[in-house]
Amino acid sequence: MSYKSVNSLSELISIAEQQDANLAESWFERVELIKHKVKFVKNRPRILCLESIDPIVVAGKWIPELIDNAGGEHLLVNSTEPPTTITFNELLASDPDGIIIAINGNSKELTRTQLEMFIHSDDWKQLKAVQKGHVFVADGDKYFYTPGEGLIETAEMIAEILQVNQFFYGMEGQYWEQMPVIL
């Protein structure tokens, strides 16, 4: 079985167990640490993770699970569901507390450049996440979309973004960054 067929963290760890039990145990422990540290988080931010902004595509598969494990609530797509294209009105209606944008195949820098064209528009400025500066760009080339070790690191990155007071993996600046407040 291949990592390419993975739709969830449990599948990833199950496949890893067949190939390398020590690696699977390490991955499991890293994920469990995140889940344990956010177990008592009371305010779970409502998060959208976008894998494209033109058109707007909400990330699916394992991403909702990673956000849930990190103490957030992923909107519009449930775990293991495929990515879903939505309209801007659907994005506006969901009014997320935060938005993580990790464009599939893009570096953080390229994503930030593409986002600059959209985020200053009057439409984007209506979003609470934009107004509060809760928009994050991340490296979608190395993380988020390729099963394997990168998914475990993506779980850690999302935890670092959502629970800044509980997690520090040193990824901020290098693999993700927070966009400034837009008024």
Cα–Cα distance between 106 and 66 in angstroms, integer? 20
Could you read off the pLDDT of 53-76 as tens digits, one per residue? 989 999 988 899 999 999 999 999
Contacts of 103 (CB under 8 A, 6+ apart): 50, 51, 52, 53, 110, 111, 114, 140
Q: To 10 degrees, what angle do helices 21-37 and 9-19 make?
A: 150
Side-chain half-sphere CA neighbours of 71 within 13 A: 24
Secondary-structure class of domain 3-178 per CATH: alpha beta
Runs of H (alpha helix) within the chain: 9-19, 21-37, 63-69, 88-94, 108-119, 122-125, 128-131, 149-162
Residues of the chain with pLDDT > 70: what percent?
93
For residues 156-166, average pLDDT: 91
Pairing between strand 135-138 and 46-53?
Answer: unpaired
pLDDT at residue 5 in the model? 58
For residues 86-113, average pLDDT: 93
Is residue 27 pLDDT above 60, yes or no? yes
As a whole number, the mean pLDDT across the chain is 86
Is residue 42 pLDDT above 70, yes or no? yes
| Backbone CA torsion sign across 158, 164, 166, 172 | positive
Q: Is the CB of residue 96 less than 8 Å from the CB of residue 75?
A: yes
